[in-house]
Structure 1
């Protein structure tokens, strides 16, 4: 890693935020590549399905209740809320919903989840100002790209991990807030100076601590909502005259100093960006979709469990299971092992390596495992706990060599008859090496909105996403989502 530049900038130099602002405004004006736009449309559908599905959670009801208590002008739609709320509160609500099920997309190797903050922020801002669908797609694309690039500035190739993560920081909400600010600013018509100012303001609002992944608590469900809200709020404040420092990223007291102690990779922010703002290398199409509603570190273990099931292994045949993963992920899905073997809730099960492989072995819904496979009752099910008690989570050198470009697992199952079976899952389903098709993403969306969004409304959302680039505004996309067809319920 190298020390970031902390010296005073001369007029002839361009700071990192100025380079990003040039890229942002150029992309908003000239458009984005078709594959990037298509990827954005997929992510919009994915996020909206997650927002509907998250209404099953008591924390979602709590977040919505909090928003409704605030009052304010009717500006934008919060999914499942009949009355409109302020744009910032809509961004908060939908960001909380989008991230609450741990089913949102992931960028690797930065290991952050960009869409759950950027998409809600952009949709709220777009609805508020009456932006077109094409403007919204461009803004989302740029916001995602900025979030990923800032996340990659904290990725240390030698360490093989995100330094944000090593410090206990949630890059998802930290860089997601910055990407959200850029997206919202573009939709408010910001020029390059306005984007720089929005980044300068948002850096003072971006935050996130990830300890809940280890030992519990539901606070992480708030992170993307707070990030989206921060981005929209910053864009609005800049319009009213607030300004930020142009050196907010690399400055002596800037973003990278605060979060990464001044040691970061500036080239990750600007690689592939021409001096005129054109982007030659977009990250957006390579962001991984999640096929399963669990922490992404568990997905390869789920695939292994599904593979053992397909091979005919029955639960009563299992003597022991060893889940080999990258060393860096053990603290999230394997420690404390006594907690991971006996998750108290469905939410804790989403961060459990033992639960992941056992659930895969038992089989489930959706694309292999779905939302109905991560309930409180199943987490406490005696049969599952008996199997989880036989699972170890250990470091595997092959996985260490691959992580975090993939989140692999090498899983060894020993049967009661002494047979040893091995499943190596070295690439993640949902990423560029094993992409989800449009049909598979449609299955995920349908599974997420089942029994909560009336079929005509679900069809309207799908059509609106498909036609988003030609839409005059985003109202046709969001209006069908304002009312859900069933009351909220607890798993």
Structure 2
């Protein structure tokens, strides 16, 4: 048997899947899963989600899989697409800062669609979910930063890999079938950064989840894919990144987990803007009247204006890619939540004025989770605030209580009274004989689990 990189990776995946998760990994997998479920429920309120529902009703196959906050079922392909889409629409999902991947959305989409349809234990589901996230992140690290710098949306391109790993494990694919599934999935990469600020950005992890489901089901039926897709010169790594570190796919696999470096957003926008928002909120407490602000200097990592340089967004979707908006909202309101990204708030005159005052000062020496804000008031005074590590970063992570509070805020407006059931179901997942309790918590009618 060849000992190529792809087969080494598959061997690591199957070996780790055969044993219980390490306690720290289990905890982070549960935190990632809980966060993904919360944002998936909240994301179902958007017109973009309803558009895909309408298409799925017409063109989908046999209803088999649940989707959060929906009383009806869909075929596994569209269910995965809908879940992955919803989990990214608010840009409020988890983030692995080193790769800028949001691993939860695509992995949840595939895991839930196949796990609820085909049936699996809670422990197997959690392990598959954890490994889907882990492999996705390792692939992302192997092609960073050149892949992202070329304009690829790494959450979409790597998301399909995470989706097929989780899906393949839930289906119980053997070694050769998982290798084929990876080859099939790697041929279905998608996502360009040009889609940022549109519904297409959230479509990327949704379609990655659906493509992962399709790849796993095709491999299960005997469909073949390249068993050397990661090491081949014209394979995934060679084609999608001019510079790679392929050793990161397998080094320390099972002992060192990239999943343990996952983080959870306290604000629904690009994570590179979070330290600036922290600083703006801190300054809000020191200002008697924001109308007296005359100038705002934003010292930040160069990625901030590159990814979020839009100064005057016209709606809530575009505002998620406007660092000036996040800072203006923090200065004006003293908080930044979903309400600050509603269209009416984005278009308000006070935020329009504050955004126009923001001037970026990109500073390469600053960390991605670091920023400084300086404001000049009408009386000539300057106020300054510096954030060394943003709230929600690895150095300042959300506590379990803060994460649960976030999930409650996301779920309760859509499904009143359901948040605690979701939290409890995720907490008890490892002991669950099926996904019945989890599905009942996220589906309004309670639903069932079955073929």
Q: Is the pair's TM-score, using the shorter chain for normalization, greater than 0.5?
A: yes
Is 1:383 the equivalent of 2:344?
no
C-alpha distance in 1, partners of 2:221/2:86?
A: 29
Is 1:412 the equivalent of 2:382?
no
Number of the residue aligned with 1:320: 295
C-alpha distance in 2, partners of 1:440/1:428?
A: 15
Contact 2:198/2:317 (8 A) holds in 1: no
Match of 1:349 among 319, 334, 346: 319
SS of equivalent residue, structure 1 residue 293: coil
After TM superposition, give the deviation of residue 296 of structure 1 in Å. Answer: 1.0
**Post-superposition CA distance 1:25-59 (Å, at most 9, x none):** 11211121111111111122111111111122111
Count matched residues: 446
Number of the residue aligned with 1:241: 222
Is 1:398 the equivalent of 2:378?
no
Number of the residue aligned with 1:184: 167
Match of 2:130 among 99, 118, 141: 141
Number of the residue aligned with 1:196: 179
C-alpha distance in 1, partners of 2:112/2:238?
A: 31
Give unmatched runs, 5+ long, in structure 1: 1-10, 156-161, 274-278, 335-339, 486-491
Match of 1:463 among 407, 410, 424: 424
Is 1:220 the equivalent of 2:201?
yes
After TM superposition, give the deviation of residue 228 of structure 1 in Å. Answer: 0.5
After TM superposition, give the deviation of residue 280 of structure 1 in Å. Answer: 1.3
Number of the residue aligned with 1:104: 93
Is 1:79 the equivalent of 2:102?
no
After TM superposition, give the deviation of residue 465 of structure 1 in Å. Answer: 0.9
Contact 1:80/1:484 (8 A) holds in 2: no
Number of the residue aligned with 1:290: 265
C-alpha distance in 1, partners of 2:268/2:49?
A: 16
Alignment of structure 1 residues 34-49 onto 2, 5 Å: 34-49=23-38
Match of 1:436 among 371, 391, 398: 398
After TM superposition, give the deviation of residue 484 of structure 1 in Å. Answer: 8.3
Is 1:114 the equivalent of 2:103?
yes
Contact 1:132/1:473 (8 A) holds in 2: yes
C-alpha distance in 1, partners of 2:405/2:167?
A: 30
After TM superposition, give the deviation of residue 313 of structure 1 in Å. Answer: 5.1
C-alpha distance in 1, partners of 2:176/2:406?
A: 40
SS of equivalent residue, structure 1 residue 100: coil
C-alpha distance in 2, partners of 1:297/1:421?
A: 22
SS of equivalent residue, structure 1 residue 430: coil
After TM superposition, give the deviation of residue 310 of structure 1 in Å. Answer: 2.4
C-alpha distance in 2, partners of 1:112/1:479?
A: 29
After TM superposition, give the deviation of residue 23 of structure 1 in Å. Answer: 1.5
Match of 1:28 among 4, 13, 17: 17
Is 1:269 the equivalent of 2:235?
no
**Post-superposition CA distance 1:189-245 (Å, at most 9, x none):** 0122222111100011111111132xx432112111100011111110000001211
Number of the residue aligned with 1:53: 42
Number of the residue aligned with 1:158: none
Number of the residue aligned with 1:3: none
C-alpha distance in 1, partners of 2:434/2:58?
A: 28
Is 1:477 the equivalent of 2:444?
no
- Please tell me the root mean square deviation across aligned C-alpha atoms, in Å: 1.6
After TM superposition, give the deviation of residue 267 of structure 1 in Å. Answer: 1.9
Contact 2:284/2:333 (8 A) holds in 1: yes
Give unmatched runs, 5+ long, in structure 2: 447-451
Is 1:303 the equivalent of 2:278?
yes
Alignment of structure 1 residues 155-170 onto 2, 5 Å: 155=144, 162-170=145-153
What's the TM-score, normalizing by structure 1? 0.88
Contact 2:97/2:262 (8 A) holds in 1: yes
SS of equivalent residue, structure 1 residue 106: strand
C-alpha distance in 1, partners of 2:249/2:124?
A: 23
Mean alpha-carbon deviation: is it higher for 168-177 or for 414-423? 414-423
**Post-superposition CA distance 1:66-96 (Å, at most 9, x none):** 2222232222101222221112211111000
After TM superposition, give the deviation of residue 389 of structure 1 in Å. Answer: 0.8
